[in-house]
Amino acid sequence: MDFSHKSVLLNETIEGLNIKPDGIYVDGTLGGAGHSSQILKRLGPKGRLIGIDQDEAAIKTATERIGSSKNVTIVRSNYSRMTDVLDELGIDKVDGILLDLGVSSYQLDTVERGFSYRFDTELDMRMDQRQSLTAKDIVNGYSEKELFKIIRDYGEEQFAQNIAKHIVAARSKGEIGTTFELNEIIKAAIPAKKRQNGHPSKKTFQAIRIECNRELEVLRDSLDDMIDRLAPGGRLAIITFHSLEDRIVKVAFKNAENPCTCPPEFPVCVCGKISKGRNVSRKPIIPSEEEMEENSRSKSSKLRIFERA
């Protein structure tokens, strides 16, 4: 299957990056190179694009699509290693960084990747197949308390406690190995009248995927470093897909813009912390009605942009 992913908020993101023809830009979630292709169109001969992705299929597809261009460097890694990647390439500052935190259509629709509750396959959910931890390890190895916490916090699931309890009870009779086995356990843990609003497994699968790939932890730990690598006037554009991600980005941008820790009653700042720039998007940018109609996966997306001072 081809690595297809309809780039969400494409025009808004490219416009928000404010691309300079001779600038250096990093796409930290390269995917099928949808956003990167558009960045490349706006770069001149002296411009440069660095594409990073941890997914082998994404690297292969992106290399086929844009890898022949002389001002493109493609690296298989997690964006959490962006500073290391830039150091290895001898690049100090960049003019723009992009993250699209959505799971690609390819990952969701490739049955054996085990991301989707729609297909019966082995529980996997690894974005980087070089890592050892899988969704199956989490479902069968985490304690009831740990399962409850991730399903409640990462899935924002009302019935997290009951789902965790049902998982532990089911695995005591034998390993839970497939997506459909997990579907049945989740379904049994949610009252019938509450199963009407979408698929009952949606939130739990999201929670397990986030835990498996350390998605929120990686995002939280990387934001300050990315802001610090921006040249003056450089921009960081991040597309999130659920409230937990958006909250992390919102708080990080707010703190970078106004890092002062002095009590409000102090007449002048004495902490010495200086603003790193400005939050370009006071409110998150959301897709148009037309885009949401054309691409249902864009509905929960939000774009925030930070500009370095």
List Cβ neighbours of 158 (8 Å cut-off, separation of 6 or more).
194
Average pLDDT over residues 166-180: 98
Pairing of β 94-100 and β 72-76? unpaired
Q: Give the domain range for residue 121.
A: 116-213
Pairing of β 230-240 and β 302-308? antiparallel
* pTM of the entire predicted model: 0.93
Has residue 4 got a pLDDT over 80? no
Average pLDDT over residues 225-237: 98
In a domain, 131, yes or no: yes
Domain of residue 175, CATH code: 1.10.150.170
Average pLDDT over residues 51-71: 93
The pLDDT assigned to 5 comes to: 56
In a domain, 122, yes or no: yes
The pLDDT assigned to 2 comes to: 53
Residue 71 shares a structural domain with residue 219 = yes
Residue 208 shares a structural domain with residue 84 = no
- Among residues 213, 241, 275, which one ends one of the domains? 213
- Among residues 154, 186, 213, which one ends one of the domains? 213
Q: How many CA atoms lie within 13 A of 96 on its CB side?
A: 28
Has residue 3 got a pLDDT over 60? no
In a domain, 5, yes or no: no
Helices (H), the chain: 10-17, 34-41, 56-66, 82-88, 105-109, 135-141, 144-155, 160-171, 179-189, 202-213, 215-228, 243-257, 289-294
b/e for 220-256, b at 16 or more Cβ within 10 A?
Answer: eebbeebbebbeeebbbbbbbbbebbbebbbebbebb
Residue 219 shares a structural domain with residue 80 = yes
Residue with tokens 């370095």: 308
The pLDDT assigned to 104 comes to: 78
- Among residues 213, 241, 273, which one ends one of the domains? 213
- Indicate left, alpha or beta for 232 from its phi (over 0: left) and psi (-120 to 50: alpha): beta
Residue 64 shares a structural domain with residue 120 = no
Has residue 144 got a pLDDT over 90? yes
Residue 300 amino acid letter? S
In a domain, 121, yes or no: yes
In a domain, 1, yes or no: no
In a domain, 4, yes or no: no
Q: Structurally, how many domains does the chain consist of?
A: 2
The pLDDT assigned to 255 comes to: 95
In a domain, 111, yes or no: no
Residue 92 shares a structural domain with residue 225 = yes
The pLDDT assigned to 1 comes to: 47
Q: Kindly report the average pLDDT of the chain as a whole number.
A: 94
Residue 121 shares a structural domain with residue 203 = yes
Residue 32 shares a structural domain with residue 98 = yes
